[in-house]
């Protein structure tokens, strides 16, 4: 019995070592796989976000890394949320536009999250809906996939139409509403108008290179 014990012990140790080696190799493979997958997911998310921003501001209008040139601001009364990210677009080093995301509008069924682009001349580069809870077939016409309605804001600015006409037609304004759904377009239109007012009164300062650089260092 005594002569067999060392052999049995050696076999047990060898088996344990082999199992341990497989466990280490398995952990390394899982780690490498997770890292590769995480990087791929991150890259996919970056590409999706950039495509969303380029739908508002065409990529030939800027030459900087839009996703890196950002600033987080807080203007809840004007933009409807505590935190809004500003993507600054530059061309040849000069700021040409900003994209705000999100801007929150009040719809019929709750909050509507928007992404808005504003050029340095105060005109709207474009607007898109990020998410909403509006009624399918009625309020969901704010989606560009459902209707071209939201494209009608592109190029508009305060003064075009006159500020007093930044309302839906039912309220005496210049903008169409949807048949059977007025609250939703009214809320989106108000949010866009508020964002343009914020840009006119305060936001335009973010398009001054010196101001942006100082803000990054604060």
Q: What is the pLDDT of residues 164-205, one digit of tens each?
A: 899 999 999 999 888 888 999 999 999 999 999 999 999 999
Q: Which secondary structure element, helix H or strand E, spans residue 101, and what is its range?
A: strand 94-106
| β-bridge partners, 157 | 160
pLDDT recorded at residue 19: 74
CB atoms within 10 A of CB 152: 14
Contact 138, 155 (CB under 8 A): no
- At 39, give phi and psi (nearest 5°): -65, -40
- Which SS3 state, helix, strand or coil, does residue 62 take? coil
| β-bridge partners, 175 | 168
pLDDT recorded at residue 214: 44
CB atoms within 10 A of CB 76: 11
Contact 177, 168 (CB under 8 A): yes
Q: What is the pLDDT of residues 22-46, one digit of tens each?
A: 777 777 777 666 666 767 777 787 8
pLDDT recorded at residue 209: 55
Does the pLDDT at position 163 exceed 90?
no
- At 99, give phi and psi (nearest 5°): -120, 130
Encode burial over 12-26: b for 16+ CB neighbours within 10 A, e otherwise.
eeeeeeeeeeeeeee
């Amino acid at each position: 019995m005594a002569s067999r014990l060392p052999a049995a012990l050696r076999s047990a140790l060898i088996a344990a070592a082999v199992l341990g080696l497989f466990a280490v190799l398995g952990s390394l493979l899982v780690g490498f796989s997770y890292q590769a997958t995480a990087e791929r997911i991150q890259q996919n998310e970056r590409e999706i976000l950039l495509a969303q921003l380029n739908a508002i501001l065409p990529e030939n209008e800027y030459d900087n890394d839009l996703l890196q040139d950002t600033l987080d601001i807080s203007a809840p009364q004007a933009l409807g949320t505590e935190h809004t990210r500003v993507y600054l677009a530059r061309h040849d080093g000069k700021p040409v536009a900003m994209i705000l995301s999100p801007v929150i509008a009040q719809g019929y069924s709750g909050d509507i999250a928007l992404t808005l682009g504003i050029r340095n001349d105060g005109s709207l580069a474009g607007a898109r809906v990020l998410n909403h809870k509006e009624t399918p077939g009625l309020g969901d016409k704010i989606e560009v996939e459902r209707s071209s309605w939201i494209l009608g804001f592109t190029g508009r600015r305060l003064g075009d139409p006159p500020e007093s006409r930044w309302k839906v037609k039912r309220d005496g304004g210049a903008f169409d509403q949807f048949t059977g759904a007025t609250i939703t377009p009214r809320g989106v239109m108000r949010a866009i108008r508020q964002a343009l007012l914020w840009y006119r009164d305060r936001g335009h300062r973010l398009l001054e290179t010196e101001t942006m650089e100082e803000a990054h260092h604060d």
